[in-house]
Amino acid sequence: MADTSGGWLYAVARELDTDALAGLRGVAGAPVYVVRDAGLAAVVSAVDLAEFGAEPLRRNLEDLDWLAVTARAHDAVVTTVGAAAQAAVPLRLATVCLGDDRVRDLLARRRPDLESALALLTGRTEWGVKAYADPEALASVNPADTAGPSGKGGAGTAYLLRRKAQLSAREKAERNAAAHADRLHGELAALATAARRHPPQDPKLSGRKGWNVLNGAYLVDDAKADELAAAVDRLGAELEGVRLELTGPWPAYSFAGIEQGAEQEPR
């Protein structure tokens, strides 16, 4: 069976307490184990290539139930590893190697990147802040504009004028929302070592009302975590028509890449 199995990678850690991983199971319920290369520890579990090989994986990714279960299993191991190590770099979902030698080879070849990522993440935690804007509150339309002209003009003219007012109210709301989001991100990023904006979430997927104008991730010194939470409370109270949501602590998914620092703008 050796030729039909691969190793699914979860995270690369430094000073990992392997006892804390005892009994831990990853994707497809397989037990996790550790592959070491001179001070770096990769956490891995065996996966069947019939399900997790390149081709089947592509098919399975289209199955949201499969994706949900796999993403949660991956995250559960990454979270446990993070708590059991001085620092841990999470791996992108679905990184599979053929054999432990290949894992050691990757650790050796990417050592400089991994070391610098570990240095960045040590003593810091990722937090998420999402901002939802209420379009109506942000437009703060003057009622006189929407009431339409009284008397003359006819229904058609009244409709057109009303429609024009609605459109400009929407534009105003969008401008306000973007300005609020930029200010929020700027203030939160000032508290963080690194910051990044994920693309806004679709309200139908998140189940949340309002425009998701900010979907930010912030890598914050552990000593400053309270300060970040306080800033979220304060900004949420200050900005009318915007609701803030703090998520985390997260494994540092958003700051593990070597493209860190390059801020990703919403698509």
Residues 197 to 216 in contact with other proteins, rule: CB under 8 A: 198-199, 201-202, 204-207, 215
Mark residues 17-56: x for contact with other proteins by CB under 8 A, - for none.
-----------------------------------xxx--
Which residues are CB-neighbours of 240 under 8 A, at least 6 positions away? Answer: 137
Token reading at 172:
């105003």
Q: How far is the CB of 160 from other proteins (least distance, A)?
A: 28
Q: Scan for tokens 């999402």, then name that residue.
A: 130
Q: Find out whether 100 and 218 touch, Cβ atoms under 8 Å.
A: no
Q: How far is the CB of 219 from other proteins (least distance, A)?
A: 11
Angstrom distance (rounded) from CA 207 to CA 213: 15
Beta-bridge partner residues of 129: 216, 246
Residue 57 or 141: which CB sits closer to other proteins? 57
Angstrom distance (rounded) from CA 235 to CA 240: 9
Angstrom distance (rounded) from CA 33 to CA 257: 23
Residues 62 to 91 in contact with other proteins, rule: CB under 8 A: 62-65, 67-68, 71-72, 74-76, 79, 89-91
Q: Which residues bind other proteins (CB under 8 A)?
A: 6, 9, 12, 52-54, 57-58, 61-65, 67-68, 71-72, 74-76, 79, 89-98, 102, 106, 110, 113-114, 117, 128, 198-199, 201-202, 204-207, 215, 217, 247, 250-251, 253-258, 264
